[in-house]
Amino acid sequence: MLQDQIKKYFPNLLLLLVDFGLLFLTLFLATIFIGNGQQLAELKKRIFSFDLERESSLAALQDFNRYQPELQEIKNSFILGSLPLDFIKFLEAVSAETGFKIKIVPGIVSQSKAAAEDANWPFINFQVSGQGTPGSLLVFLKKIETGPYLAKIIDFTAKKIGENQVEIYLTARVFSR
């Protein structure tokens, strides 16, 4: 009788064991594929971020190439702190061009950014005294202001010394690199 019951329920037991085996196999494979799916999604995110970085780098390179001439012009606006001859030659050329006679005394070189409240870069102060007509003075000051160097007049005194003559004393702050 036991053999009859085993024969009767054996196919059902066999199917039950196969079902459990398939269930465990499915669960095992699902965990593997889910883990791989997460890794795949993570790889896609990394590739996308690399593409964004590459595009950003290419855009930055294009911006750099586009602004390179202007950056060079800005760099040339600063005088060489150790050798400010270019600025002195510029002042002398402007003086000769405008007819305003000047004397230049290079001042203190400051390598400290904190040396002046409004200075963000190292600078050199030049003391300039000069004489000429009011018209030549105005042209002289305008040319300094619009010249190729980053300069700022921080002190200015003028007095009349004749009918059509003025004398000035000024301090020009010229930023250096």
Domain termination site, one of 45, 76, 107 = 76
Residues 49 and 128 in one domain: no
* Helix 134-145 / helix 85-98 crossing angle, nearest 10 deg: 150
pLDDT given at position 118: 55
Contact 115, 107 (CB under 8 A): no
pTM of the full predicted structure? 0.53
- Please give the span between the terminal C-alpha atoms of the chain, in angstroms, as a whole number: 107
Per-residue pLDDT of the chain (177 residues; tens, 9 = 90+): 667 777 777 777 777 778 778 777 777 776 776 666 677 778 778 878 888 888 888 888 888 788 777 766 665 555 655 557 777 888 899 999 999 998 987 665 554 444 455 556 778 888 899 999 999 999 998 988 888 877 888 889 999 988 889 999 998 888 766
Q: What's the CATH code of the domain at 139?
A: 3.30.70.60
pLDDT given at position 36: 65
Residues 24 and 93 in one domain: no
- Two structure tokens written together for 16: 């039950």
Residues 2 and 71 in one domain: yes
Residues 164 and 98 in one domain: yes
Provide the domain limits for residue 25: 1-76
**What is the tally of structural domains in the chain?**
2
Angle at 73 between CA 69 and CA 76, to 5 degrees: 140
Residues 89 and 49 in one domain: no
Residues 92 and 167 in one domain: yes
Residues 72 and 89 in one domain: no
Domain termination site, one of 76, 105, 128 = 76
DSSP string, 113-169: GGGSTT-SS-EEEEEEEEEE-HHHHHHHHHHHHTSSS-EEEEEEEEEEEETTEEEEE
Identify the three-state secondary structure at position 172: strand
Residues 5 and 72 in one domain: yes
Domain termination site, one of 32, 47, 76 = 76
Residues 117 and 148 in one domain: yes
